[in-house]
Amino acid sequence: MVEAQHVASTMKIVDSPAEQDVLEALLDGAKPALPPEAEPLDYLLATPFRYPPLPGGSRFRSGIDPGVFYGADTVATAGAELGYWRWRFLHDAVDLERLEPVPHTAFGAEVATTTVDVRCAPFDRDAEAWTHPTDYRHTQAFARVARSARVGGILYRSVRSAVPAWCLALLTPAGFAHRKPLAATQTWWLAVSVDGVQWRRDAESMTFAADAWRTP
């Protein structure tokens, strides 16, 4: 799931589609270069390999590692994972109690690469390290070893979902089976409050309470 604001954001500050095309081209030219393996990919698949990580990195990517594409087994799992980070942003903000609904795109992708599943033996004996809510030192170190062994992805248990679910950290853009995402997409609206997040799509909704995300 990814935020779907980019077109609307530039539309607000131009007067015509032609001006918007020029602005989008200028913005694209200022972005970091894609790694060669990611250049043939659709932007939805290539983007995670383009930008540096946030301070502290992510679960399987430190500040000096190449990009990682994070996926989940279901839309609900992706909603919990992404929802956590939007809630975390609100939680850490000053004098901000709510984030108004923002559209997001849910899409699927097919992967064809070697993977290691840390939910299985012998790796499951270190499950506490793989699922720590805030300490990513062990998972980032594991990802570096996986890259050196030419492993393309890491399967792991979702840390933010309240029900058992799995996620995939794809370590290389060469791990996609196709250059484009699967054709079917969904648009979900995400609203965030101090108590949790709510996703809505037509008559469907998903709610995730923040109680399980709070750490001492």
DSSP letter string over 138-160? Answer: HHHHHHHHHHHTT--EEEEE-SS
At 21, the pLDDT band (50, 70, 90 cuts) reads: confident
For residue 216, the model assigns a pLDDT of 66
Strands 153-157 and 115-117: parallel
Q: Is the pLDDT of residue 91 over 80?
A: yes
Q: Of the given ranges (10-14, 190-194, 201-205), which has the lowest mean pLDDT?
A: 10-14
Tally of CB atoms within 10 A around 99: 16
Q: Which residue has the higher pLDDT, 207 or 11?
A: 207
> Percentage of the chain surpassing pLDDT 70?
92
Helix (H, G, I), strand (E, B) or coil at 175: helix
193: enclosing H helix or E strand: strand 185-193
